[in-house]
Amino acid sequence: MAVFVGLSIGLLVFPIQAQTPREILITTLPGLQFDRVQWAAKPGEKLKIIFTNQDDMSHNLLLVKPGRRLAVVQQAEELAEKGPEANYIPNSPDILWSIPVISPGQSASIELTAPSEEGAYPYVCTYPGHGYIMYGVMHVSKKLQTPPLDDDPDVPDLRKEAMNDHAHHHEPKDHPFELVPPYYYRAFMEGSGLASVAVRLPQRLAYCWDAGACKLQYAWSGDFLDNKDFWHGHKNAYAQVLGEIFYRDQVQHPLRIGNPMLLPTVIFKGYRLVDRYPEFNYLVNGVEVFECIREKADGTGLERRFRIPYQLEPIWFHFSPNDGMSYECSSGQLESKGIIKLSPEEAAEFTIIMTRATL
Amino acid sequence: MTLKYLIASLLLFFCSHSIAQSDQGYLIEDIPMPEGLDPETGGIGFLPDGKLVACFTRGEVLTYDFKTGKWDVFAVGLHEPLGLLVESQHEIVVLQRPELTRIKDVDGDGRADVYETITDAFGLSGNYHEFNYGPVKDKDGNFYIALNTASSGAGFRDNPRGPVNLAGRDSTSGRKQMYSVVPYRGWVLKITPKGQVIPFASGLRSPNGIGIDEEGNIFINDNQSDWVETSKFFHIQEGHFYGHPASLVWEKDWDGRNPFRIPVEELNQRRTEASVFYPHGIMANSPAEPLYVKKDTQFPQFEGQWLIGEMNHERIIRVMLEKINGEYQGACVPFQDKGGLRRGNNRLAFSPDGSLFTGQIVHGWAGAKGIQRISSKGKTILLDIQTMKLTPNGFEFTFTKPMDAKTVTQIANYHVRHYRYPYQKKPFNEPIDFSNQEDIQEVTIQKIRLSDDKKTVTVELPQLRKGYVYEFKLEGIRSQDGSLLKNNLICYTVNQLKTN
């Protein structure tokens, strides 16, 4: 019995193994990319490429002769008004196999026998505009070898960077100038409104100011931001805080005017730069406020200078006694726990010093 | 203010500087970009002293001095600036993601020190696709900006700005359609000099590119899909609705219905049709900023027409309009293809010397980066279709040069098709960029006549049909001086017919 089964496997399965193509699954990534950009096949190997479109745009897939990727992209462009009906596939001897345009969620496959000649056989989407960034390569190699990604001309540059992120820890130059604190980015920041400003201060300090709520939301120390995903702009990304957040605002708004318990209405007006530090300008219950936040000279916290020059009523500054900071105010008096009261004259200009309690 | 990090002479990447002579004869030059800049161009303009000013998606606003070849920093730290308008030598207005901002250099050192919020009175859901476009300014000092809808490819964040209304989303079929869940997504807003924000027009999807002509007419390029499956050039008028329903929920006194469930006929009745269709995958895939060709440019033959950046092709398009029965309609034709021109043509501006500048962008799509200048070579006028106009029974083409009678009157040299792009709700399983040309038919020319001055050809067709694009490919057509017509694909959108 055992022998019989063994024989039948030998008889039946072996030929199937020889003929069953190896499946190569290729799908899409956001931003006009194939998920697989480099893989290997043996000369003459039977393959089945299954292409699934998970993007929200249309894509095709053309496997072409070595070195002919760009030529095929250009031939596809020359289809001009005939492009849509031809699935953007030109009639070209450079194309070895092709999958016509498929919609999101659709799959299509082709079965093929890898060329007998070793070489780099690129594949590319020739939907208009896509061909210059959306491509990859099948390396036909007896030893199933592929060259290093960085040296492969048929791998999009974007993917080389993406895959090498972990290898390089040098700080890339983000701008055509050196960034010397203080400087800032308006950006999407986690834990703050969608209109926010991330400010880098000297002493490796930083804070996030919410231009919607018109208040300091949090502060951190250490490295500043990772903007890579945010700048890429194709997903709901944030500029990522890299350091340690040591302070988060826990009061609804620190300033009260006219009534210490009245939650104010605020309007953001903008900012000006004072010694390159932003001084924010906003209205609290219609009263003009200026706020400039600097590092404490010894790096242990923040100095918040307020100017409320044109008002006639007392103001109250609220803070949470349990937010990990100790508070000093240049004038005014502690009215009750977490509430400092300032006269209109005192409020014309005052400084709140916040020092990290745990340092 | 101190200038600790103002780089007086940013290092230039001179090796990228190249000049290409395009086939068409325009000169295409790369503007050298400073090292370290990711030149994803959100806006370009010119200062009164002739310097180029440009903003980039990482938040910089830089100026370029053509005399010294140096870039200087004007402003930094902006949130995805995608448009700018020069107000004076020391003042520009920039549209960022969260607000329209006036940026001033008060102390005159060349570097901005005051940033004033002109308005932030519009919603943000946090969806990555809620890009903002503009501003343009009319003679009365009003600004106009256009707000993109949110992408069906992503959700919105948990702290949106502005009231949320989920009726602006196609809840019948998930997130397949672009949506508007916070105020004025899909709208054009007018902002008065006093800062009042007036919702001006609705029904837009991806209005990347707003332009204004010298009479104050506003035009917008709206990217294809969802309801009309090709990109469109709209004449924007107050109170008009342009077809994408999501934005309707922000109409004053809206009745609360989900606009995606309103019968298509009802929406269709309310909607204003595009002045020009850009056949998708043929003329354009992602048209961007329209620029009105004013007087005294290096392209006087196209004065009063429009130039349109195209993102996915190495192309700039030209649009010519005429008013038929009081409505603008017209044709689109390539202005420049390839010849050293890159893709990603997002923003256009004329420099003081009348040359054309194009600012390029990728931003996750199929584009390119940098800034290029396109100039005409001396006073030579190249062979082009100067105008294409509707006649009661066909079209009239006027060329920029006297034509060779033999090639221009040969019917076989004209390949004519017509097709239409119906208004309909896109089927659930269709991709964003799927484009369906309906009723594609070859059209046979009945008669061609050449004018006495040899510059105008009148083409007679069988009964013209309203709502159709007439696509002409002119092959092998030459001028008397032997030039071959290169920009030979032209598409006219017939909304109105002309009567005798």
The tokens describing B313, both together, are 């092709």
pLDDT tens digit sequence for A182-235? 999 999 999 999 999 999 999 999 999 999 999 999 999 999 999 988 998 767
pLDDT tens digit sequence for B438-463? 999 999 999 999 999 999 999 999 99
Reading phi first (left if > 0) and then psi (alpha if -120 to 50, else beta), residue B255 is in alpha
DSSP track, A193-215: -SSEEEEEETTTEEEEEETTTTE
Which of A243-247, A353-357, B19-23 is predicted with the least confidence, judged by mean pLDDT? B19-23
Which of A161-165, A276-280, A329-333, B47-51 is predicted with the least confidence, judged by mean pLDDT? A161-165
B158 pLDDT higher than 90:
yes
Per-residue pLDDT, A162? 52
Chain B within 8 Å of A132 (Cβ-Cβ)?
yes
A1 pLDDT higher than 60:
no
Cα B358 to Cα B86, B346, B355, distances in angstroms: 16, 7, 10
Which of A122-136, B167-181, B193-207, B300-314 is predicted with the least confidence, judged by mean pLDDT? B167-181
Higher pLDDT, B380 or B350: B350
Cα A25 to Cα A22, A28, A111, A182, distances in angstroms: 10, 10, 12, 49
B182 pLDDT higher than 60:
yes
Per-residue pLDDT, B10? 42
B452: closest CA of chain A, how far (Å): 32
Cα B127 to Cα A235, B154, B301, distances in angstroms: 8, 7, 43
Model ipTM over 0.95: no
Judged by CB atoms closer than 8 Å, whether chains meet at B117 and A269 is answered as yes
Non-local (6+) Cβ contacts of B148 within 8 A are: B129, B130, B131, B132, B133, B185, B186, B204, B205, B206, B207, B208
Q: What is the largest CA-CA distance in chain A?
A: 103
Mean pLDDT, residues A247-264: 93
Judged by CB atoms closer than 8 Å, whether chains meet at A176 and B36 is answered as yes
Cα B408 to Cα A37, B334, B364, B490, distances in angstroms: 48, 19, 43, 15
A5 pLDDT higher than 80:
no
DSSP A241: E
Per-residue pLDDT, B428? 65
Per-residue pLDDT, A105? 81
Mean pLDDT, residues B248-274: 95
* A178 interaction partners in chain B (CB closer than 8 Å): 5, 7
User: pLDDT averaged over chain B?
Assistant: 92
Task: Using pLDDT thresholds of 50, 70 and 90, give the confidence band for residue A18.
Answer: low
pLDDT tens digit sequence for A296-320? 999 999 999 999 998 889 999 999 9
Strands A38-41 and A135-140: parallel
pLDDT tens digit sequence for B133-145? 999 999 999 999 9
A16 pLDDT higher than 80:
no
* B80 interaction partners in chain A (CB closer than 8 Å): 233
A261 pLDDT higher than 70:
yes
Cα A346 to Cα A262, A310, A341, A351, distances in angstroms: 20, 12, 9, 10
Chain A within 8 Å of B3 (Cβ-Cβ)?
no
Judged by CB atoms closer than 8 Å, whether chains meet at B363 and A234 is answered as yes
B377 pLDDT higher than 90:
no
Contact present, B461 and B395 (Cβ < 8 Å): yes
Chain A within 8 Å of B153 (Cβ-Cβ)?
yes
Q: Chain A: residue nearest B60 by CA?
A: A175
Per-residue pLDDT, B365? 82
Asked if residue A181 has a cis previous peptide bond (ω within 30° of 0), the answer is: no
Residues 210-229 on A with a CB inside 8 Å of B are 211-212, 227
User: Exposed, middle or buried, A347 (CB in 10 Å: 0-12/13-18/19+)?
Assistant: buried
Distance CA A173, CA A179 (A): 9
CA B84 to chain centre: 15
Per-residue pLDDT, B24? 54
Please count the other Cβ atoms lying within 10 Å of the Cβ belonging to residue A358: 6
The tokens describing A330, both together, are 């240049």
Per-residue pLDDT, B40? 96
Partner residues linked to B299 by β-bridges: none
In this complex, the residue of B102, B152, B157 whose CB is nearest that of residue A236 is: B157
Partner residues linked to B45 by β-bridges: B53
B400 pLDDT higher than 70:
yes
* B60 interaction partners in chain A (CB closer than 8 Å): 175-176
User: pLDDT averaged over chain A?
Assistant: 89
B19 pLDDT higher than 60:
no
In 3D space, the residue among B343, B369, B347, B344 whose CA is nearest the CA of residue B357 turns out to be B347
Q: Chain A: residue nearest B13 by CA?
A: A176
Helix (H, G, I), strand (E, B) or coil at B194: coil
Non-local (6+) Cβ contacts of B318 within 8 A are: B302, B305, B306, B307, B308, B332, B333, B334, B335, B487
Judged by CB atoms closer than 8 Å, whether chains meet at B429 and A105 is answered as yes
Partner residues linked to A183 by β-bridges: A200
Distance CA B150, CA B50 (A): 37
A180 pLDDT higher than 90:
yes
In this complex, the residue of B77, B99, B434 whose CB is nearest that of residue A184 is: B77
DSSP track, B139-186: TTS-EEEEEPPBPTTS---SS-BS---GGGS-GGGTT-S-B--STTTT
Reading phi first (left if > 0) and then psi (alpha if -120 to 50, else beta), residue B401 is in beta
Q: What is the pTM of this model?
A: 0.88
In this complex, the residue of A30, A58, A194 whose CB is nearest that of residue B161 is: A194
B31 pLDDT higher than 60:
yes
B320 pLDDT higher than 80:
yes
Non-local (6+) Cβ contacts of B383 within 8 A are: B399, B400, B401, B478, B479, B483, B484, B485, B486
**Percent of chain B whose pLDDT exceeds 70:** 93
Residues found in chain A: 359
